[in-house]
C-alpha cells in the first residue's frame, strides 16, 4: 500500500466532530496535529490535555485553517 503521508498538516489546528472509541475525544474539542504516523493517522495533542490519534477514514473532524 502506497500512502502519501499528510505531513503538511503538522501544526494545524483540528476540531473533533465525532470519534467512535471507548474513550473518545468529546465533540468540539480542539487540538493541534503534532505528527502523522506510517498508517497516516494524525497524532494530536488535544487542548484538554489528552494525546490521541485521529483516524481519517473513521473519525469525523475539521481541520481549522488559521492562515
For residue 1, pLDDT over 80 is answered with no
Q: Which residues are 24's β-sheet partners?
A: none
Rg (CA), the chain: 11
pLDDT in tens, 13-41: 999 999 999 999 999 999 999 999 989 99
Residue of 7, 13, 10, 24 lying closest to 62 (CA atoms) = 13
pLDDT of residue 6: 82
Hey, where are the domains in the chain? Answer: 7-36+47-64
Write the CB contacts of 27 (distance below 8 Å, at least 6 apart in sequence).
Answer: 16, 17, 18
pTM (2 d.p.): 0.87
Whole-number Å distance between alpha carbons of 48 and 58: 21
- Percent residues over pLDDT 70 in the chain: 90
pLDDT above 60 for 2: no
Amino acid at each position: 500500500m502506497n500512502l502519501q503521508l499528510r505531513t503538511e498538516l503538522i501544526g494545524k489546528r483540528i476540531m473533533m466532530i465525532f470519534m467512535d472509541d471507548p474513550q473518545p475525544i468529546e465533540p468540539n474539542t480542539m487540538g493541534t496535529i503534532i505528527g502523522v504516523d506510517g498508517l497516516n493517522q494524525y497524532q494530536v495533542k488535544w487542548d484538554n490535555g489528552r494525546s490521541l490519534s485521529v483516524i481519517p477514514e473513521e473519525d469525523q473532524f475539521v481541520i481549522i485553517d488559521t492562515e
